[in-house]
Chain A
Amino acid sequence: MTRFIPPVLGMVLALIALWYVAVVPMNVKEVLTAAERAGVAVSPPSAVERRDMGNWALVVRNTHALGDSWSSDRPKLPAPHQVLVELYDSTIDEEVNGRRGIVKSGTLSNRSLVYHAIVTLNATFLGFVIGTVLGVGLAVGIVHSRVMDMSVMPWAIVSQTIPIVALAPMIIVVLYSIGVQGLIPKAVISAYLSFFPVVVGMVKGLRSPDAMQMDLMRTYNAPTSAVLWKLRLPASVPYLFASLKIAIAASLVGAIVGELPVQKGGLGARMLAGSYYGQTAQIWAALFVAAGLAAVLVWATGWMERRTLRKMGAKP
């Protein structure tokens, strides 16, 4: 593990340095316009002329007016420290010092990313459970029935080529029409994304016992259900966990996608709000929280995997 730390740290530092440099050309047009308004001479003086110029050319010609690049209000690319400040403001600061924060009001503030992360996690978990159950069920069916194998599998693949973001608002409206609101529509979308990796992995896993093991079961005259419970399912556990790691990340993405049209909180709603008001630092903060959540969820699944496999007698 430790041998990974220096290179990762090196990469992160390199990336941050690159990021700081990139902030200058990315924001140069807005920064120059602001400087022009503040009375600083910039060249060329008209925003219309600047529009058609390259960013680097503008940087080179206006090095004196770029001081605000790392602190502009509406940056195209916020500087890393701006994102960090936003992260701090919208988590710890909001909860501790905010009027609605947990310290003053006793409940999590709806302006804090902690609250929104929990909203998203709820939908993620429900969707993950639905997706996993559905996926395992389908896989068991596919392994035992040639008809299902041939008819369901190709369509499961096709289902993943449909852009879920396009479908999400319609899924939500259809569920509205049968009176379902709140958590479930988001969970359905996240289940849609998470069932597929489970199906693929489980089919592989349930078929993983080799011929000798299957023959042994046959000599015992074991019924299909016993073969499933005593041989196929235990054999499929490593495959199941491998797919669960993909599925939980997919569930998170699904929940976020579902929050976009619903706008009742969650990281997805937060990202849209950031985009809506041009607060790029807000989008980045929500993005990092989402990616962090994904990392934690995948790690937790991996931890369960190691524990389970050890209990089942696998060598570490």
Chain B
Amino acid sequence: MNGLSLFASWLSACVANWLFSRIDKPWVPYVVPLVFGITVLILWEQAVYKFEIPTVILPPPSLIAASFAGNLSTLWGDFTQTILKGALSGYIIGCGAAFLTALLVDRSDYLRRGLLPLGNFMAALPIVGTAPILVMWFGFGWQSKAAVVVLMVYFPMLVNTVAGLSETSAMQRDLMRTYAATWGQSLWSLRLPAALPFIFNGLKISSTLALIGAIVAEFFGSPTQGLGFRISTSIGQLDLGMVWSAILVSALSGTAFYGLVALAERRMTFWHASFRGGR
């Protein structure tokens, strides 16, 4: 393997992608990033051998894949601990609480003007500082991880939902009033649907934050399971294949989580301009 072949594989992938991108078929947007990703992996693999990078600094993708396949049950346990117990429960609690607060804020202008600037300040508290505090408060189990996630997702979700709820125009609201609709009715049939794009935006941002929050919290104390625990412990044992496998699990679940929310968004806000063609 030499520099020339490194360059050659890069070039051929470029040409392939350039050709692909000329074609106007529905599968193209999936194939092009895939080719790009595979090229990166091949280049990475070749570079590791070419420049004799020590495995403990950067393991080749083949080693990571082998490590991933060989430790499926361990990684599944970590996935359950971090993603299902920590991130997901925190996500549901955090987004739910933010949504309810948004309804409250919506009814009281005083709350809105007081809470939102404060919310921006709280959202700026760096998680690496708050995580050790929350671990101290809620113990080493998944509860403290969920608490970190709640704190992380609460404000983005709140801000987006509040913005969404004020999205309707005065004319639309007046129409509801002429129908003598109650606050609840107008919320349900006019303002909530109008707020959906914003709510989904909040949910999407929160989905990646939730994952990161759950993993970060594990660095400050955890049971002997979980993705954050695995990453940190495996670096200590110089088992870099395992480290990258755990990172892979988190990236895969993060992408899948984001994808699921985005899919739900498409289903529920098909009427919105951003999904009706255009650029």
Contact = CB atoms under 8 A, between A and B. Distances in A.
Within the complex, are A and B direct neighbours (CB within 8 Å)? Answer: yes
Interface in B234-265: 235, 243, 246-247, 250-251, 253-255, 258
Interface in A247-275: 249, 252-253, 256-257, 260, 267-268, 271-272, 275
- Provide the main secondary structure of the chain B interface: helix
Contacts of A298: 124
Contacts of A253: 126-128
B11 interface: no
B124 A291 contact: yes
A309 interface: no
A286 B130 CA distance: 11
Contacts of B179: none
A150 B250 contact: no
A106 interface: no
A4 B35 CA distance: 52
Given A4-B113, A167-B247, A155 B228 contact: no
B58 A163 contact: no
A150 B28 contact: yes
A290 B118 contact: no
B250 A155 contact: no
B133 to A, nearest CB: 6
B185 interface: no
A170 B239 CA distance: 13
Interface stretch (A6-14, A31-39, A63-71, A126-134): A6-14
Sorted from nearest, which 6 A-B pairs have the closest CB atoms? A161-B254, A7-B114, A151-B36, A11-B114, A294-B124, A150-B32
Given A9-B114, A161-B251, A174-B57, 4 more contacts: A11-B114, A155-B36, A165-B228, A271-B128
Interface of B: 14, 17-18, 20-21, 28-29, 32-33, 35-37, 40, 57-58, 110-115, 117-118, 120-122, 124-130, 132-133, 136-137, 208, 211-212, 215-216, 219-220, 227-228, 231-232, 235, 243, 246-247, 250-251, 253-255, 258, 279
Interface of A: 3-4, 7-12, 15, 26, 76-77, 146-147, 150-155, 157-158, 160-167, 169-170, 173-174, 177, 207, 249, 252-253, 256-257, 260, 267-268, 271-272, 275, 280, 283-284, 286-287, 290-291, 294-295, 298
